[in-house]
Amino acid sequence: MRGQEMSKDKILVADDEQSMREFLDIMLKKEGYKVSLASNGEEVVKLIEKDIFDLILMDIRMPRLDGISTLKKIKLVCPETIVIMITAYASADTAIKAMKEGAYDYITKPFKVEEIKLIIKNALEKQNLQKENVLLKQVVRDRYHFENIIGQSSKMLEVYKLLEKVAPTKTNILICGESGTGKELVAKAIHYNSPRKEKPFVTLNCGAIPEALIESELFGHMKGAFTDAIATKKGLFEVADEGTIFLDEISELPLMMQVKLLRVLQDREFKRVGGTEDIRVDVRIISATNKDVEEAVREKRFREDLFYRLNVIQIKLPPLREKREDIPVLAMHFLKKYSEELNKNISTISPEALRILINYEYPGNVRELQNIIERAVALESSQELTAQNLDSYLNGQLPIKKGSIDLEIPSEGIDLEKIVADLEKTLLLKALDKTKGIKKRAAELLHINFRSMRYRLEKYGLNQETDSETG
User: Domain check: are 273 and 296 in the same one?
Assistant: yes
DSSP, res 471: -
User: Domain check: are 80 and 149 in the same one?
Assistant: no
Residue 455's domain comprises: 416-465
Angular region, 102: left φ>0, alpha ψ -120 to 50, beta rest: left
Angular region, 396: left φ>0, alpha ψ -120 to 50, beta rest: left
Domain boundary among 318, 333, 365: 318
Domain of 63: which CATH number? 3.40.50.2300
Q: Are 86 and 57 in contact (CB under 8 A)?
A: yes
Domain of 450: which CATH number? 1.10.10.60
11 burial level (CB within 10 Å; 0-12, 13-18, 19+):
buried
In this structure, is residue 409 part of a structural domain?
A: no
pLDDT score, position 285: 96
User: Domain check: are 16 and 99 in the same one?
Assistant: yes
Give this prediction's pTM: 0.58
In this structure, is residue 406 part of a structural domain?
A: no
- Distance (Å) of CA 22 to CA 19, 29, 52: 5, 11, 21
E strand intervals along 219-336: 220-221, 233-234, 244-248, 269-270, 279-280, 284-289, 313-316
Residue by residue, pLDDT tens for the chain (471 residues) are 444 445 568 899 999 889 999 999 999 999 999 999 999 999 999 888 777 788 999 988 888 888 888 999 888 878 888 999 887 765 656 767 888 888 888 888 778 888 889 999 998 888 777 765 654 555 555 555 555 577 778 888 899 889 999 999 999 999 999 999 989 989 998 998 999 988 889 999 998 888 888 999 999 888 788 887 777 788 899 889 999 999 999 999 999 999 999 999 998 899 988 888 888 999 999 999 999 999 999 999 999 999 999 999 999 999 998 998 889 989 998 999 999 999 999 999 988 888 889 888 888 899 999 999 999 999 988 999 988 888 666 654 444 444 444 445 666 667 777 777 778 888 888 888 888 888 888 888 888 887 778 888 888 877 754 445 555
In this structure, is residue 375 part of a structural domain?
A: yes
pLDDT score, position 403: 42
- CA dist 360 and 320 (Å) reads 10
User: Domain check: are 276 and 253 in the same one?
Assistant: yes
User: Domain check: are 130 and 162 in the same one?
Assistant: no
Cβ within 8 Å of residue 301, ≥6 positions away: 251, 255
User: Domain check: are 196 and 163 in the same one?
Assistant: yes
User: Domain check: are 232 and 199 in the same one?
Assistant: yes
- CA dist 113 and 122 (Å) reads 14
- CA dist 407 and 90 (Å) reads 87
- CA dist 385 and 403 (Å) reads 27
- CA dist 401 and 405 (Å) reads 7
User: Domain check: are 169 and 224 in the same one?
Assistant: yes
Domain of 224: which CATH number? 3.40.50.300
Neighbours of 364 (CB within 10 A): 17
User: Domain check: are 166 and 112 in the same one?
Assistant: no
- Distance (Å) of CA 207 to CA 167, 253, 291: 26, 7, 12
pLDDT score, position 90: 56
User: Domain check: are 327 and 220 in the same one?
Assistant: no
User: Domain check: are 378 and 231 in the same one?
Assistant: no
In this structure, is residue 214 part of a structural domain?
A: yes
Q: Are 354 and 328 in contact (CB under 8 A)?
A: yes
In this structure, is residue 390 part of a structural domain?
A: yes
In sequence order, which ranges of 278-415 are alpha helices (DSSP H)?
293-298, 304-310, 327-341, 351-359, 365-379, 387-394
In this structure, is residue 5 part of a structural domain?
A: no
Domain boundary among 113, 136, 159: 136
Number of domains in the chain: 4
In this structure, is residue 401 part of a structural domain?
A: no
Domain boundary among 270, 286, 318: 318
DSSP, res 151: -
- CA dist 6 and 34 (Å) reads 8
E strand intervals along 61-168: 82-87, 105-108
Cβ within 8 Å of residue 433, ≥6 positions away: 391, 396
- CA dist 104 and 204 (Å) reads 37
User: Domain check: are 313 and 367 in the same one?
Assistant: no
E strand intervals along 39-137: 55-59, 82-87, 105-108
DSSP, res 303: -
In this structure, is residue 428 part of a structural domain?
A: yes
